[in-house]
Structure 1
Amino acid sequence: MSEFRKISTLKVLGSCAIASAILLVACSDSDNDQDPDDSTFVGSRAGRAGVNNHPGVLTALPTAGEKVNGEGVRKLLMLYMVGSDLESGSDAGTTDLLEVQTALNAMSDAQLANFDIVVAFGGSEKEGWKGMRIADTDLLFDDAEDGIYGNLPAESYRYLATGANMGDQSSLELFFRYINQTYENYDDTALVMWDHGSAYGPFGNDDNFNSDALSLSEINGALAAASPGEPVNNGKLGMIGFDACLNGNLEIASVTQPYAEYHVGSEELEPGHGWNYTFVVNEFGKGTGIRQFATGLVDNYVNHGSHPYKSDGKTLSVYDQTQFAPVRSAVDALYADLSSNYNLEADIANAVIDATEGSFGFGKSSREDESISIDLREFITILKSKLDVVGYADTHAKMSAVETALDAYIIKTAQDGTRAKAGGITIAPPSVSPGSYASVKFSNGVESLVKTYAADVSSDDTAPVEALALATRNAEGDSVNEIRARFIDDNLASVHVIYGFQDTDTIDGSDEPVDYFLPIITFPADYDEQNDEYVGTTWEGKGFFLNYGEAEEDSVFIPVEFNQRYENEEGSFEVYTTEVDFVPASVTSDVEPGSDDELIETAVLQLVARVNDDDSLTVVDHHFRTYVQIFDNDVDDHSTLLFDRNDRRLAIGDRVVFYSQALAMDEGEEDEFITTSDSFVQLTQTANFSFEGVEHTDSSGQVAVPEAALAAFDIAGNFTLTAPREIVVE
């Protein structure tokens, strides 16, 4: 049996540590000798990540010459590529541009004569990627010769400004103006926005300007001022697509809607490789029409075989923007109805809370306690299940109207078999901060519900009340079969069954020991509607371990939360998540878990486990994504989580430490995320995960007994923990 030991003095990740650990690391300003006119570069990296007041320095556009005429069958592909840390850290931009070049190299002269591409790239600290460069088809051939982009002489580029901030509206607008003065009369046009994304949050983080990114209002401002509609016969682009995380989203689609016929985006986080650009160029160049190209892109993207490596969680959707108005109208009417009745009808309030908490969340972090967006279809499905059809006929009609509108709007959606709850489009959850959502302005109804929900949260300072708690034993009486509890709270958000151990220790810098319950594994509790009770069944005493070395003692316990279960042609799988601090093998400095050391990266790690015929679990894959907090300003805490697109796996030499949410059992004490060990463990072999028996030695040196408890949380985060019940593991 594997054993984990908890060090008597635990490291605690308090709010200061969180704020420090998630700041992006500032790198050197140095550039190579081939980067022209470096004196014009104006970078800004001080302060909170995302906060930057410098728009960058642009040079004037070159004098417009004779326009490239696309009349006939010519196609125009436009790519706005903000390299950010994706390029400086993993050459992701270069990889995709080389995929573009592979397709161009395979084209015949006749095909090239009917295809044009224009790329704006930069926004990264990497040599040759500071500022913004614009290259067309001919120049891409030249720049690709040595496999290094951005190192041609300055005069070679169609435009160059080494001081440009690609995360500012001015740079995007200038790119559009360049297109408008250079191209005309194209039937098929597509604009691809490439980098990090965050749904209704910022897009395109410029490394050189403290990760400054384009807000929705800036994207809208650039499109409104200079939408590249001039090259298009009907005045609208054929497609605006986001090769970025989380942008299969209603709020950002509302921004692109006036300027394009179709919107393409992913509900989920995207893998680092993103779209396959050899396919993009080949298919777009065929001239089969935007709709067929976009729907084909969806199939290609979710197909594992179209990428250099397998990565789970791929989703992609195409929206018909001519059908947007009915969606906006239906969603606005539904949300206005929910908001106006929230404080009048308890059933409405409870349904909204259940749907908010129960809908599948995208871009989620347990440590930050938030999801960036939720699936809109699932939100409505849960609402419908909670509200009586007869008693709330008008609300049901409004929900059905949204579903009907979405059916016409989402013309293609697909997922790779691991995201069964992805219905095609997301929306901001009602629980989003009104301050962060204020600039989005998707609809008055949605904003009203967000404010109503926030007011309910701010007024809730009482934890759920435990009205009943009991445990039933098996026929022999020696093992608890299940635990049950009933909770009273107008704003009950979720109930979890937690399996773990009790302990007493000093946490959060307290002088006095605190009694707390340390979770091993956490599941959503089942709800017995007939008895109005939440139920947790027995735990067989097993948990997940990372075996990081060859020695028997080279094993560390991993506290996890159940995320989802899915089935595909390979079998049934369960996904579990945990919060970690991560230090890559390339860093050799000593660091302490939970400290404010900027070398520590914050991440969410997922374990994918196959469910075997005997219900045991075998870990078949793991991956993690680091994330940072991008702030709106220096004044308040309004922020958005920005997840790395690079889907990584632990490697030899990496260091990692895991976090668990220690739930305080003493009245007046708060729960804390704590590290499960005092030091990082370093992998000396390929990461190997196991699911086996857990034994815990508490702070007094005694072997603790495994127990189960139910934890009820309200929308404000107040919680009640039932008395843990001992489990006799046979």
Structure 2
Amino acid sequence: MIFYQEKLKNKKMTIPWRVWTRLLLVATAFMFNQPVQAEVCLPPTVDEGLNLDIPCVGVDGQQYTAQILYKAPFWEYLSHAPSTCEWKVENCATLTSTMDLTVPNFALDGLSQIAVLKFDANESAPLRWTYQKHFENRAGESNGFSYNHGTLAPAKPTTEEVSGKKLLAIYMVGSDLEGRYKLGTKDLKELIRGYNALTNKEAIAVVVAFGGAKNWPGMRYASMAQILADSADNKFGNETGDDAYLYNEPRAVMGDKSALTHFLTFLQDNYGKANPRFLVLWNHGNGFLGYGKDQNNNMDGLSLTELHEAFTDSGTEKFDLIGFDACLMGSIEVANTIRHHAHYLQASQELEPGHGWNWEEVIQRYANHADLIEAGKSMVDNFVDNETHGKNRSGKTLSVVDLNQYDFVLTHLNTFADALTAKINAADPATITALNAALSPSSGAESYGKHGSNRLEFDLKHFATLIGGPESEALSQAIDNYVLHANNDGTRQNANGVSFLALNHNLYLSRKKVDKDQMVSFNGYEMNLWENLYVSESVWQLYKTIHALAQSDSQAPTVVDQVADARGGEFLNLDASDPLAQATGVVATFTDENLTTVRTIFGGVKSVEGEDNQLFLSVGAVQARPTEKNGQYFASAWDGQWYVMQYDEDEDPVWMPLAFENQYTDDTGQALTVYTAEVQFIRKVEDEVSTVGFFGDLVELFGDEEEPFPDDLAELEITFDANNNVVAHQVRPYLVIHENEADKRGHLAPGKETFDIQAGDEIRFLSTWLKFSPAGEIIGARFYPTTDGMLEVLQTPVFSFAAILLEDDEGDEMAPRYVMAAEDASGNITLTAPMDVK
């Protein structure tokens, strides 16, 4: 790298603060009309003196040529003029709103690089840039990661008169939801049905930006009239002609802030006089990790930082209401971003089931309610209570909050966080006990966005209530004033309308710690986790305190004793008439000050040939019951029966390796239990085989950490009543998200779509082998498919509770055994040695 090592070795290392008045003058000087495009733009050229001649540079939707002279150690502006060539992303440079210049195809000394030049905002200096960084030139490759935000050609002004009208604007990143399942198409058809049913069509303006899917490359803007015309062949995005869309750019990346900025600017310029203005962001959501995955660009999405920058850069005025038809966006971290750009926020705390909101109802309720808040409340209730649009008992939550009350919530959240931090640092026993209970995955705070044994978010009010104290009460009251309306389908009964980052989520705990100053200095790199989850210094200190507490506890719970033939009445405070009092079972006692949950795992064992070790195959896991003795837990004897699925009338049912998830009582008083299983799942969708993804507790067991996750894995969730009858079941996709090019494996996030298992699907259940030493210590684990291959489902599946036969790989019967597993608040896990079923 001769160029960078020698010719720029004296580059300026510090960047002065931005001088906004100077930027404004420069931006004003660049405001010319967009020229007619002709021949394809050539790449930049660099002469021997390092002077730059750039045939195309994008500035705020405009396109220019530019000449920049090198005057060591910086480049200085010489001239610019309107550009007449046809934009080519791998050749054209871009100038950001802060005047930083990204130059692709920077060819010198036989190398082709992307160079980033940092604007020097020193007011006394001429316009000049200093070298900041370079990286390998990948423009034009299909790896999906954007190295610069690009510049989109400006949109033509609309002629629609919007004064006195309501605005409904939708930013629909189709992603796999459209590319695989045509859910964007379904929602647009719902929108059409709702619009056609309106008696006051003239009172609402509708504009939709859609793209980001395999069948929707780039991005288009369409008015309601254009959507109606586009639907004639039951497909969207395939119209031709200059008037087919308000805007059409096949090279746009909807998961990049440049596209959202462009759309928001278009709305401000053309629909700014509408009142009220309702913007909905449609696609996958992942809480503080961001929103909107572009299927054509490696599922590249928008971080909360990018969302904020897109709104800010567009100069749009505050929307009256911003909604997310996306998962997990009803959090305090999301509100911290959106509060700058809207008065009210409508979003789900939990994963959204089905294909999201019922758009036939959304447009009607928005158009027909004179009061915006009442319209929002009506949309919330319709989403949750409508059984014909997305199954009930599938985790539906939705709320509408008043962002004008955000500061009051934050004030009380800071007070609560300061008090909790102080008590943790003082090792207050009552606080530590309450904290461990709140962090318990099975009986703690209401939680959302399950990632294996982890949760992405906690319900803020429920968590505070479990901690207790006057600070909790004050925070709860502030939340009540902030949440205008919240609803849930009965499965999330402690969903109070706003969530926050799960304090013990290992995505947080496993990352390298940084402080606030470091975090701010990192602004701008891809997927800035810390900036996106940062709410306040008090909350930040609480996160760090919880992290330190977890880091200080590396000791797993200790097994004190275990009994395989215990009688329930001896350990549980039960009336003699209770059947459990006479039942035998398994008991184990653990010591750990931070113990949060204990489960009993049913399974079978086999010997390892040539070894003294044993392999334990996990069949299912149930919640163990605490006895009156501290740290002691009991589970009833296993009678060899477990949950099975009949998939083919000519074949025996297969057992399902289910794990206890939670219990709740529905609005009829019926007690329900939820179990989950890891599966491989394939569904044939519209003549195309579709696979959906997976997340397991022990993902490191599924191949090398450098290998990408497979895409044919999923999570099955089944809800049973007290008589073991199935009330509901669903398969949920997981997405593989790569933070950057170096992240080969990626991380997994829950998808938005859910499925019932149907005839024609293929499925295979995944269990786990645990290897135990002769001393009963676990020394290894791996995933284990319970069948040799995928099972083709040839009937509507029938679930039941029946006796099962456990066989190993060779078809030999295995002896039934118990294992009890204890987990503490830091995620440390201990398993007892396998015990005989008696």
Normalising TM by the smaller chain, what interval?
0.7 to 0.9
DSSP 3-state at the match of 2:666: strand
Counterpart residue identity of residue 375, structure 1: D
Partner of 2:739: 632
Matching of residue 83 in structure 1 with residue 168 in structure 2: no
Shift of 1:93: 0.9
In structure 2, C-alpha distance between the alignment counterparts of 1:677 and 1:578, rounded to whole Å? 14
Partner of 1:393: none
Shift of 1:583: 2.8
1:164 to 252, 255, 258: 252
Counterpart residue identity of residue 469, structure 1: Q
Matching of residue 116 in structure 1 with residue 236 in structure 2: no
Matching of residue 328 in structure 1 with residue 416 in structure 2: no
Say if 1:302 and 1:415, in contact at 8 Å, map to a contact too. Answer: yes
Total equivalences in the alignment: 653
Alignment of 1:337-352 (within 5 A): 337-345=419-427, 347=429, 348-352=431-435
Partner of 1:469: 562
- Change over 3 Å in CA distance of 1:113–1:40 after alignment to 2: farther
Partner of 1:147: 234
Say if 2:675 and 2:717, in contact at 8 Å, map to a contact too. Answer: yes
- Change over 3 Å in CA distance of 1:65–1:378 after alignment to 2: closer
Listed one character per residue, the Cα deviations across residues 187-238 of structure 1 (whole Å, up to 9, x for unaligned) are 3111101001111112110011100000000111112222532xxxxxx321
DSSP 3-state at the match of 2:287: coil
In structure 2, C-alpha distance between the alignment counterparts of 1:310 and 1:45, rounded to whole Å? 43
Shift of 1:397: 1.4
Alignment of 1:121-270 (within 5 A): 121-126=210-215, 129-156=216-243, 157-226=245-314, 228-229=316-317, 236-270=318-352
Partner of 2:545: 452
Unpaired runs of 5+ residues, structure 1, are: 1-36, 230-235, 385-395
Shift of 1:360: 3.2
Larger Rg: 2
1:355 to 438, 455, 462: 438
In structure 2, C-alpha distance between the alignment counterparts of 1:65 and 1:555, rounded to whole Å? 60
Say if 2:622 and 2:659, in contact at 8 Å, map to a contact too. Answer: no
Partner of 2:386: 304
Single out whichever of 258-267 and 487-496 deviates more from structure 2: 487-496
Counterpart residue identity of residue 414, structure 1: N
Counterpart residue identity of residue 726, structure 2: V
Partner of 2:464: 380
1:439 to 531, 537, 542: 531
- Change over 3 Å in CA distance of 1:354–1:183 after alignment to 2: same
In structure 2, C-alpha distance between the alignment counterparts of 1:150 and 1:257, rounded to whole Å? 33
Single out whichever of 270-279 and 336-345 deviates more from structure 2: 336-345
Say if 1:197 and 1:642, in contact at 8 Å, map to a contact too. Answer: no
Alignment of 1:555-570 (within 5 A): 555-569=654-668
- Change over 3 Å in CA distance of 1:353–1:262 after alignment to 2: same
In structure 1, C-alpha distance between the alignment counterparts of 2:690 and 2:272, rounded to whole Å? 54
Counterpart residue identity of residue 212, structure 2: G
Listed one character per residue, the Cα deviations across residues 522-554 of structure 1 (whole Å, up to 9, x for unaligned) are 223223355442232333432111222112435
Partner of 2:46: none
- Change over 3 Å in CA distance of 1:154–1:61 after alignment to 2: farther
Shift of 1:317: 0.7
Listed one character per residue, the Cα deviations across residues 341-364 of structure 1 (whole Å, up to 9, x for unaligned) are 424315334433331232233221
Unpaired runs of 5+ residues, structure 2, are: 1-84, 91-138, 512-527, 571-579, 692-700
Listed one character per residue, the Cα deviations across residues 418-465 of structure 1 (whole Å, up to 9, x for unaligned) are 332323222111123344741221122222232333334344433211
Shift of 1:496: 1.4
Say if 1:706 and 1:726, in contact at 8 Å, map to a contact too. Answer: yes
DSSP 3-state at the match of 2:242: helix
Alignment of 1:460-609 (within 5 A): 460-470=553-563, 471-473=565-567, 481-505=584-608, 514-528=613-627, 531-569=630-668, 571-585=670-684, 587=689, 600-609=711-720
Matching of residue 414 in structure 1 with residue 487 in structure 2: yes
1:398 to 434, 447, 471: 471
Shift of 1:380: 2.2
Give the % identical residues: 30
Listed one character per residue, the Cα deviations across residues 257-311 of structure 1 (whole Å, up to 9, x for unaligned) are 1221211111221123211111111121124121010000011111234527667
DSSP 3-state at the match of 1:503: strand
Single out whichever of 280-289 and 237-246 deviates more from structure 2: 280-289
In structure 2, C-alpha distance between the alignment counterparts of 1:45 and 1:717, rounded to whole Å? 41
Partner of 1:659: 766
Partner of 1:96: 187
DSSP 3-state at the match of 2:584: strand
Say if 2:708 and 2:745, in contact at 8 Å, map to a contact too. Answer: no
Listed one character per residue, the Cα deviations across residues 486-516 of structure 1 (whole Å, up to 9, x for unaligned) are 322244342212233233448xxxx957424
Counterpart residue identity of residue 492, structure 1: L
- Change over 3 Å in CA distance of 1:69–1:555 after alignment to 2: closer
In structure 1, C-alpha distance between the alignment counterparts of 2:316 and 2:794, rounded to whole Å? 53
Counterpart residue identity of residue 76, structure 1: L
- Change over 3 Å in CA distance of 1:498–1:45 after alignment to 2: farther
Listed one character per residue, the Cα deviations across residues 65-112 of structure 1 (whole Å, up to 9, x for unaligned) are 7773423xx21111110011111111111111111112222334xx22
DSSP 3-state at the match of 2:796: coil
RMSD over aligned CA atoms reads: 3.3
Higher normalized contact order (CA 8 Å, seq sep 6+, divided by chain length): 1
Shift of 1:657: 1.9
Partner of 1:688: 798
Listed one character per residue, the Cα deviations across residues 318-377 of structure 1 (whole Å, up to 9, x for unaligned) are 1111111111122222223333442431533443333123223322132xx422222223
Partner of 1:24: none
Counterpart residue identity of residue 689, structure 1: F
- Change over 3 Å in CA distance of 1:523–1:554 after alignment to 2: closer
In structure 2, C-alpha distance between the alignment counterparts of 1:572 and 1:469, rounded to whole Å? 30
- Change over 3 Å in CA distance of 1:484–1:346 after alignment to 2: farther
In structure 2, C-alpha distance between the alignment counterparts of 1:581 and 1:310, rounded to whole Å? 24
Say if 1:120 and 1:135, in contact at 8 Å, map to a contact too. Answer: yes
- Change over 3 Å in CA distance of 1:479–1:66 after alignment to 2: closer
Partner of 2:97: none
Say if 2:465 and 2:476, in contact at 8 Å, map to a contact too. Answer: no
In structure 2, C-alpha distance between the alignment counterparts of 1:479 and 1:503, rounded to whole Å? 31
TM-score, with structure 1 as normaliser? 0.82
